[in-house]
Structure 1
């Protein structure tokens, strides 16, 4: 017992030395203990809850390499910048790296000089990286999935490499003697999402740490507006907060660019941010916003993860997002310093008579999903009993996405991250992702109470009133 206490005091001392905090915030210490013991973990902590430290500290204290699978370059580089400022052995691999830096990272990987390596799921499963990780002298100790909700939201129809991550542990395990633990970290995961993560990642009796998404300093508001009224309300809102940092979320690149131009014409210093910009343009915009050269930007969901600015005082959704998880993630950019932040959603009236664009947008996404499912059904009839993912992707349009959907429906399993095998028997149909936020927009109940119930925090939701949302007020 004394030895365990001594070891834990060493862990706390390392935490204090590296990060300078007096002690862990609950449940950081418990998560760190679990990861140090080599156990799988599923961790759901609210935005700003200090998730990164929970997996960075165990990786730095142990020998071997921890792979951190991350969805966006900005997220990787933000965490890496903080680690390098503390002179810690970490690196990243992604498509935006200059060739000489990529070569240095691969050399450090082969020489065992890294404790943390950040990469996307696509980079992890690329041949040059995978071959190096499988070398007998490279010891992989852990696989961490950061922003794990991306597997649930994107893994079937956008970034299918996510659904193959569960096969990575077994494949890497065949190359080394030591066991590999898997941990998933996110700020938003309801019970269905947690079940999906456990199944896809093949988590083994994971330690689960689940906290509610409630942030008392985020004051939620919803306004139902006509198209003209929505623009004018946005303009007044932004004009009255010209000296405060904020974000405007839109659902498409077109709306993002249109709003930025429309606000610029009214004297606002702003810009649009979306995935269609070059990596250099996105980094410049992030830097301008972080340094307050731009007080606010109009952006799509491409902006936010990995950009940590504590003093964001307002977040506006010009259109409601599709998923409640998206909504909670995006409003979580506000008020990270603990001070109050306004959250405003400008919704169109639900019939579509006055503003058909939102209804049309919902229909577009629903139709696109149905088409992807139909292509997967057609592909299922043409698949050989076993095959390679790369070969199917080359032969069929959206072949990798179709395989991902077939995996979600139980029609195939992964032999390893690069090969599949058909499964005979009963299958389930992956559910269409519907417009989850509709009931949230219409509720007359406390908005935070609605979100707590939606994310499975039923005990906390009972008789809950935040006192700060539009319905409570």
Structure 2
């Protein structure tokens, strides 16, 4: 089979995404390559399709047990013979898989590096007809990568063992230094590098101040019933507290971190994947090992340590391409905590410097006053041509004002307190707080005591953070985070320099949702689609529970959405739905068609015309397969031959096996297309001008056939 046939038969897609076809061609040409694609960008297709085109077996090195189990389960659901080898299997199960590998039954074998190098298992692998080696999550091989795993270092021996077998390294995030190191470590320094766009336009981006987080999170999730999401926290304690808080508010939430016993972690993860838990609150220990495509939101309770980690984590939302939301909470305390963690780590000084620099880039993103997507893309050396229109900065451009007086009050208070106060105590001085810390130090006697009463605590916190971020004031981390004056501070105090700050805004639910306006009333068509989607979602869950598999293994949300839009009622219509391959149709097609027919039956008038149209197309298709001519079909159905041609053209465009060339001579096709090119006829254009330009020599049936062949 060709790569296009494999894509349609097993995965249900009519065309490749950008770069996928080029990558597959490189692998089929036995050349090494590296693939950088964002999470959800379609990396797996790049090695799974060649695995099915070529003779032999593809070896996939995968870092986490859960990840390989999910991927193998999804492949099997698509009719692809695949298996995994890891520590969860019994000896009997391992021997069975080994026999399947030897006999050529399997096309893909997923294996962890630990298993590969245990008990000289590489010796067994060498006996197989390996056609390709895929290194998934390849950033794990690099010391510079954000998820370095020592056992990955040994993978170079695979290239030594299979020098003529193409190796493909895949990752969602790797900067230039990491990319170079990955290729060196794997022994493929000259591999061709394919870098897909890092843009994920389906993800909304928002950053909010780190105040009232639990309240905001609850409001955020309440707007998204039935939608799955992940909340990332910095500490284990945070995950437990946030999950408990959400449960008290009536949400199905559980926590997950490395301190939880393995069995409980596994149970929580399985429940989340099967849509039995709506929200999982986790440390970064969670996420890399799941292949759940219908995560609709990712929230960061605190600031990630670097842009790569952040990008990979938000990438776990909307893997199916559907609209999804991300929300990041940020406070200056996060920066302090992160810096302390780096400083106390056992990393060499050179690595600490790199980590500090990466943290600074993350800080710049969180504090951005320009389109956030521009900053993300620039980090990965990609330029955005326009603002994205799908981030909080684009929806709510920052409003600046002259804050010089506020800055002078704060700086003067720092000076009079002899540069010995941290932010919290400084705000207490400015607001004239009556508390023990103030009186113990005598700060109630300062001239600046109470000069900032007009601002709330959170307003001062916001403005002082901005002063820190813009370099108007410094912080001494080694002196209990005391605030310090610098040369810019003195220029401001002396009135030699003006300070502009972004005006403080209290949290607004609409801002978090990136909706300035009230939600627009849905059209009747959208209401129908949403209602049918919900019916199909419930059916999917029922089937998934019966088969004990995650719902997204049956069909993704994107496939259900397309199904609800198209409302297919027969095989060829269902096969035109994105994500429905032959195996999926055989297994589930009839059940979903029956659900759609039931829905239209319960809603009189909805889809009746579509249903009737589908049936008339099906009738024509059956006659075509029976070998009837155009004239015979037209006579049998009492229809004009042009109408029959329109049916066949539509069937052809939907991917059915229709030989349109038999109805048109080569010279006729060439003449029609030459004229169409002169007129710049595009898909969907009216064809009357073409009919007139050709002076009626060819009827509309011939024109439609020629244009359909030309489009393909």
User: C-alpha distance in 1, partners of 2:221/2:147?
Assistant: 35
Determine if the alignment matches structure 1 residue 438 to structure 2 residue 438.
no
| Deviation of 1:345 (Å) | 0.4
1:142 equivalent in structure 2: 132
Contact 1:42 1:207 in 2 (8 A): yes
Name structure 1 gaps, 5 residues minimum: 1-8, 375-427
User: C-alpha distance in 2, partners of 1:157/1:150?
Assistant: 5
- Higher relative contact order by CA 8 Å / sep ≥ 6: 1 or 2? 1
User: C-alpha distance in 1, partners of 2:329/2:302?
Assistant: 6
Q: TM-score, normalised by structure 2?
A: 0.51
| Deviation of 1:120 (Å) | 1.9
Question: SS at 2:345's partner residue?
Answer: helix
2:77 equivalent in structure 1: 85
User: C-alpha distance in 2, partners of 1:155/1:22?
Assistant: 35
2:216 equivalent in structure 1: 233
Determine if the alignment matches structure 1 residue 368 to structure 2 residue 345.
yes
User: C-alpha distance in 2, partners of 1:430/1:360?
Assistant: 15
User: C-alpha distance in 1, partners of 2:106/2:261?
Assistant: 29
1:271 equivalent in structure 2: 254
| Deviation of 1:115 (Å) | 2.8
CA deviations over 1:365-408 (Å, ceiling 9, x no partner): 442243xx38xxxxxxxxxxxxxxxxxxxxxxxxxxxxxxxxxx
User: C-alpha distance in 1, partners of 2:370/2:178?
Assistant: 24
Determine if the alignment matches structure 1 residue 332 to structure 2 residue 324.
no
1:232–1:152 CA distance, 2 compared to 1 (3 A): farther
User: C-alpha distance in 2, partners of 1:17/1:161?
Assistant: 36
Superposed structure 1 runs of 4+ greater than 6 Å apart = 153-157
Determine if the alignment matches structure 1 residue 253 to structure 2 residue 236.
yes
| Deviation of 1:76 (Å) | 0.4
Question: SS at 2:394's partner residue?
Answer: coil
Aligned pairs (5 A) from 1:302-341: 302-341=285-324
1:101 pairs with 93, 105, 108, which one? 93
1:91–1:337 CA distance, 2 compared to 1 (3 A): closer
Question: SS at 1:59's partner residue?
Answer: helix
1:430–1:163 CA distance, 2 compared to 1 (3 A): farther
- Number of corresponding residues: 392
CA deviations over 1:244-302 (Å, ceiling 9, x no partner): 32211112333222221222233322101233445543443233223332111112223
1:454–1:85 CA distance, 2 compared to 1 (3 A): same
Name structure 2 gaps, 5 residues minimum: 396-712
| Deviation of 1:466 (Å) | 0.8
Question: SS at 2:194's partner residue?
Answer: strand
| Deviation of 1:111 (Å) | 4.5
Question: SS at 1:208's partner residue?
Answer: strand
1:98–1:154 CA distance, 2 compared to 1 (3 A): farther
CA deviations over 1:299-327 (Å, ceiling 9, x no partner): 22233235344443321000121121111
Contact 1:155 1:163 in 2 (8 A): no
| Deviation of 1:40 (Å) | 0.6
Determine if the alignment matches structure 1 residue 10 to structure 2 residue 8.
no
1:467 equivalent in structure 2: 389
1:191 pairs with 167, 171, 176, which one? 176
| Deviation of 1:430 (Å) | 8.7
Determine if the alignment matches structure 1 residue 200 to structure 2 residue 193.
no
**Bigger radius of gyration among the two:** 2
Larger relative helix fraction = 2
Question: SS at 1:301's partner residue?
Answer: coil
2:206 pairs with 212, 221, 227, which one? 221
1:33 equivalent in structure 2: 25
Root-mean-square deviation over aligned CA pairs? 2.6
Aligned pairs (5 A) from 1:347-426: 347-348=330-331, 350=332, 352=333, 359-370=336-347, 373=348
User: C-alpha distance in 2, partners of 1:27/1:299?
Assistant: 33
Aligned pairs (5 A) from 1:150-169: 150-152=140-142, 159-169=149-159
User: C-alpha distance in 2, partners of 1:444/1:274?
Assistant: 34
1:154–1:253 CA distance, 2 compared to 1 (3 A): farther
Q: TM-score, normalised by structure 1?
A: 0.75
1:377 equivalent in structure 2: none
User: C-alpha distance in 2, partners of 1:257/1:358?
Assistant: 22
